Amino acid sequence: MVYKDKDLYKAFFGSALLTCLGVYLLGRPLMNHLSDSFSKIIMTDPYNENLWEFYSAAKRTSLQTIVETNLRSQEGKLLSRPFGSPKKFPNTNDLMFSPAQLNVLPTAENVPVDTKVILGPQAYKPLVIEMPIIVSGMAFSLALTEKAKIALAQGASLAGTATNSGEGPYLPAERAAADRYILQYDRGDRNHEAHILQQADMIEIQIGQGGIGGIGHATVYKDLPPKARRLLHLDYGQEEITHAHVSGVKDPEVDLPLLINRLRDLTGGVPIGVKIAAGQSLEKDLQILIDSGTDFIALDCAEAATKGSPPILQDDFGVPLVYAVNRAANYLKSQGVKDKITLLAGGGLFTPGAFLKALALGADAVYIGSIALFAMAHTQVLKALPWEPPTQVVWAQSRYGHKLNIKKGAQNLANFLHACNEEIKEGVRAMGKTSIRDVRKEDLFSLDPLLGQTIGVPSAFESCLDNRPGKMTKKTGGLPKEEQGIIKMESHK
């Protein structure tokens, strides 16, 4: 029997080898013929019949626009795009830190770096987190599965930071998994009951968000899982509505202070703050929040994502984070409240470098959403790929959401957060500092002269001996005056 098995194996591998050899020998001429034929068609067909016409049109309008045009043509109704805008906004990529070397010495490797953040320092019960990274509000049922919400909460707890409930119904299992729990007081009249509010370590009143602004919207009954319908007390077929305004806040200057004080009394003094989308009237909005007595401000910028909103709100509304955070920090400082009101920033932040640059611009901590989901899901997205998007393991009512392993997801997120925090510490050491609170805008310079000028940091081409940040001249494209003569001389030659 042993010899027969060996003979069978030899025969099998021999035939397999011959098959592969045949495919190689015959396949190459076939592929060569097909390639030549296709190339000839592209090179000889008139443009109006040429397949290259599609590439040319796509370069002009983008594949994103072509696909969304077809979706609008097919459905004839409002598009709802997940994960925010693909548009490239001005961002932190053009900002750089300067490494300390001789003029300033780097911090020694054995010196600890402090990354703790106190959220709402003026509150009776401020919330302390071990790192300047918070898991953003993503709603149970309106966005994510119960398993995904629990995994995010457990992962944040393992890393020593906080998670945000989002605007969905209060989920007791998420609260139980979260050591530090931020409850969102949303515009859907959800989670407004006293016994729910008293579960929070911090409360965020959601006025608006970057991916959808402040508009009202509805989730149809069939798109909600049964548990969410029960928690929301919906009648059969009833839509779940998110209103354009927070209940009871008709006149923000009058009603918002009353709401904040009521929530503060009800919860025994946990930080009470407000989340807004960053708009061009930012300073006017900030003044209303300052006057309201808020403990923190969560600034959701133009790059912020959402489970779904119209592309027009994602692509064409809001101030990008690099400008919004800088403006907000400057205004809070000018009003003498920068150290009293915590500034949180979110929208398009994916890497430790981007997180640290947001802190340098004036944020006290950052919110992360999309990248937290990808980190948490990690290799579990393979359960949906290649036939479904990777988000099918986290979206509510998705085909593969039930297959998410909570324990693995939590550990993956915790690993990601720990790794990001360690990189942030290395960045702080590289600047010769020992705390994230010591990182300031003065530590930045810009690769883009216009960006540098607008936010008040020097450009990379400027001498450090010139202490006028962002100085530009029209005729020389932003070069310092002492270099203008060189340019003119070389041009003359």
Q: Where are the beta strands (DSSP E) in 289-371?
A: 296-300, 342-346, 365-368
Q: What is the pLDDT of residue 69?
A: 86
Q: What is the pLDDT of residue 482?
A: 43
Question: 396 in helix, strand or coil?
Answer: coil
Tens of pLDDT, residue by residue, the chain (493 residues): 444 555 655 666 666 666 666 656 566 677 777 777 877 888 888 877 887 777 887 888 888 888 888 888 998 988 888 888 888 999 999 999 999 999 999 999 999 999 999 999 999 999 999 999 999 999 888 889 999 999 999 999 999 999 999 988 899 999 999 999 999 998 888 889 999 999 999 999 999 888 888 888 777 778 888 887 888 888 888 888 888 888 889 999 999 999 999 999 999 999 999 999 999 999 999 999 999 999 999 999 999 888 888 888 888 899 999 999 999 999 999 999 999 999 999 999 999 999 999 999 999 999 999 999 999 999 999 998 888 888 899 988 888 999 999 999 999 999 999 999 999 999 999 999 999 999 999 999 999 999 999 999 999 998 888 655 555 444 333 444 444 333 333 444 3
Question: 25 in helix, strand or coil?
Answer: helix
Stated length of the chain: 493
Residue 104's contacts (CB-CB under 8 Å, 6 or more residues apart) are 431, 432
pTM of the model: 0.84
Q: What is the pLDDT of residue 11?
A: 62
Residue 149 burial by Cβ neighbours in a 10 Å radius (0-12, 13-18, 19+): buried
CA-to-CA dists, residue 413 to 127, 173, 371, angstroms: 21, 18, 10
